[in-house]
Amino acid sequence: MSKFFPLKVGQMLPDLSQPRKDFDPEALQRLADSIAARGLFHPIRVMRDKQRDAWVIVTGESRWRAAMIAGLEEVDCIEVDGPQDEATLLADRIVENAVRVDLRPLDMAHALSRLKRMRGWNSQQLAKETGLSAAAITRAESLLTLPEEIQALVDSGAVAESTAYELSRMPDPAAMHELAQAVAAKQKTRQDVIDAVQKARGRKATTAKPERLAYRLGNGISVTVLAGETPTRAALLKAAAKLRQEAEKLKPAAELAVDPTA
């Protein structure tokens, strides 16, 4: 059973393996103002580190930092039961930050990649165990394939995570870089990136349906041909003639007539 108790903020230390590396000063101040006015709603999860002779924060580092800004001397905590391996602690932190949308996209991507390696999971298992959608896992993993200069644009917020995913699908590195810079300068939108990627990958935004050409053979036999973009009448008539020959083999006495119609 978890132990619930008050703990002085000076007795607590952040965990160096915490996936979140940066804390927004303005967001911390807003949280500190809320804590000062209404108190700390959710206790901080901690575990005892005998080597460091301190309580290490498992989840709730933002609340701990904000509590110090608010001037609190102690906060409510819950002790994590039993020894916890690094992968389990990392999974807990990913889930908490994902629910609160608190990690920067690249911090989340690195944390997920690390957890995936530590557990030996594939992407489907990672999604299941963290409660994240398959799409979220795909987007996160795509960020780590981007060049460092584009990752920096994502980290700064100049390029949104969803747009960065589309950029990662661009086969031309030079075009990828140019598009990223244009997006950061607000000269291109996510849709512009999607269109450029489709064009570079040889796809059309809309694919026209093939033309359907109907041929009536005798004795109630009819054939529909799906024509390509540039069908030739001669090629179609040749195909129809072969069909007629096959029909004559089956019904030698039949008198068949080929009547092509569009």
Which residues are paired to 225 by β-bridges? 213
Is residue 64 within 8 Å of 14, Cβ to Cβ?
yes
Task: Reply yes or no on whether the pLDDT at 32 is more than 80.
Answer: yes
pLDDT tens, residue by residue, 79-132: 887 666 677 767 776 666 554 545 678 888 888 888 888 888 888 888 877 777
pLDDT tens, residue by residue, 125-135: 888 777 778 88
Instruction: Name every residue whose Cβ is closer than 8 Å to that of residue 139 and which is 6 or more positions away in sequence.
Output: 105, 161, 162, 164, 165
> What's the confidence (pLDDT) of residue 1?
46
Q: Which helix (H) or strand (E) holds 216?
A: strand 211-216
Average pLDDT over residues 229-257: 59
Cα-based distances in Å from 43 to 53, 194, 196, 259 = 21, 44, 48, 82
Task: Reply yes or no on whether the pLDDT at 254 is more than 60.
Answer: no
In the DSSP assignment, the letter for residue 233 is: H
pLDDT tens, residue by residue, 168-193: 999 999 999 999 999 999 999 999 99
CA 5 – CA 47 distance, rounded (Å): 12
pTM confidence score: 0.45
> What's the confidence (pLDDT) of residue 225?
60
User: Percent of the chain, pLDDT > 70?
Assistant: 68
In the DSSP assignment, the letter for residue 259 is: E
Query: Which top CATH class is 86-92+103-144?
Result: mainly alpha
CA 176 – CA 111 distance, rounded (Å): 25
CATH fold label, 3-84: 3.90.1530
- The most distant pair of C-alpha atoms in the chain lies apart, rounded to whole Å, by 104
